[in-house]
């Protein structure tokens, strides 16, 4: 296995699940047996995967997944790295695979329309009038986002519901494209907008990472935050060198890493005031 490339695998699926404890035990056993690390969220509404391992171990794991009926048609996004960006393997049982806190939103039976990366690029390049809406947290948007994207300035995805009321009036008439890192947040944000009177809502299929892999970084400004030790990926899906503060987990730019307020494992410019207080 020496020198073998590391595969980072993400994916989600909305499906009605029961016997969650049994599913947790099965997935944890398969992952540990194949030396996989990362996090899998399991809920009555489905599964959300963010894991990493050597290419041979990931291949073996996916073979096992293909033998589980409800995982057979699941799609994954893969990126390559030099190391496994997780410390351990966790399978967590949750109420939702992406926490939204709004009843009546069912991506399984009432999904919003998808727009493919190639089509979104075409919209930009032909000057089509549309609204592009970032559904991620503010600290993620700070690292990079699409050109002209609206930042709802939220600290957690649950706040999106309230902040959606601040969208400009023309959002009720123009096409809206929602996007996030890998697509799962938009599976709830886009149907929510439709249910609340927005007429022409799309979700970017596969999110930013799929856009990077399909068409590159055109019309995207900056890099993309990811929830592992790589911190942020360039449009080439390579780590950009950012790190996270050990204490507050805030991503640190190169300038912040050089700041006298940054002390490794102690504090950073984003949390030093809280530490002092």
Task: Give catalytic residue positions.
Answer: 180
Determine contact, residues 107/178, Cβ cutoff 8 Å. no
Of the candidates 131, 95, 101, 78, the one whose C-alpha atom is nearest the C-alpha of residue 237 is 78
Using CA atoms, how far apart are residues 227 and 143, in angstroms rounded to an integer? 13
CA atoms of 105 and 249, how far apart (whole Å): 30
User: Smallest Cα–Cα separation from 49: which of 102, 3, 103, 98?
Assistant: 98
Separation of alpha carbons 21 and 9, rounded Å: 23
Nearest to 219 by CA among 270, 159, 277, 177: 177
Tokens of 255: 């300038």
Altogether, the residues listed in the chain come to a count of 277
Signed CA dihedral, 255, 258, 260, 265: sign only: positive
What the block records as the tokens of 256 is 């912040």
> CA-to-CA distance for 254 and 257, rounded, in angstroms?
5
**Count of CB atoms within 10 A of residue 182's CB?**
24
- The conformation of residue 157, written as its DSSP 8-state character, comes to G
């Amino acid at each position: 296995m020496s020198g073998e490339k590391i595969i980072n695998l993400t994916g989600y699926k909305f499906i009605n699940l029961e016997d969650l404890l049994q599913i947790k035990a099965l997935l944890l056993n398969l992952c540990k047996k194949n030396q996989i690390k990362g996090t899998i969220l399991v809920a009555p509404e489905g599964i959300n995967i963010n894991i990493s391992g050597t290419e041979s171990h990931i291949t073996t794991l996916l073979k096992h997944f293909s033998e589980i009926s409800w995982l057979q048609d699941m799609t994954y996004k893969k990126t390559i790295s030099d190391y496994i960006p997780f410390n351990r393997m966790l399978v967590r049982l949750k109420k939702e695979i992406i926490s939204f806190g709004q009843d009546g939103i069912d991506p399984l039976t009432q999904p919003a329309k998808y727009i493919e990366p190639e089509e979104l690029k075409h919209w930009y390049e032909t000057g089509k009038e549309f609204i592009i809406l970032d559904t991620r947290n503010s600290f993620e948007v700070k690292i990079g986002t699409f050109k002209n994207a609206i930042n709802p300035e939220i600290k957690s995805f649950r706040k999106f519901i309230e902040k959606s009321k601040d969208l400009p009036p023309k959002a009720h008439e123009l096409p809206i494209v929602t996007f996030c890192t890998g697509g799962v947040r938009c599976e709830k944000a886009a149907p929510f907008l439709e249910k609340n009177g927005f007429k022409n809502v799309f979700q970017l299929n596969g999110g930013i990472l799929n856009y990077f892999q399909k068409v590159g970084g055109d019309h995207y400004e900056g890099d993309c935050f990811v929830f592992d030790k790589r911190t942020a990926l360039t449009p080439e899906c390579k780590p950009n060198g950012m790190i996270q503060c050990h204490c507050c987990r805030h991503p640190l730019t190169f300038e912040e890493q050089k700041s006298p307020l940054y002390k490794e494992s102690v504090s950073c410019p984003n949390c030093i005031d809280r530490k002092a207080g």
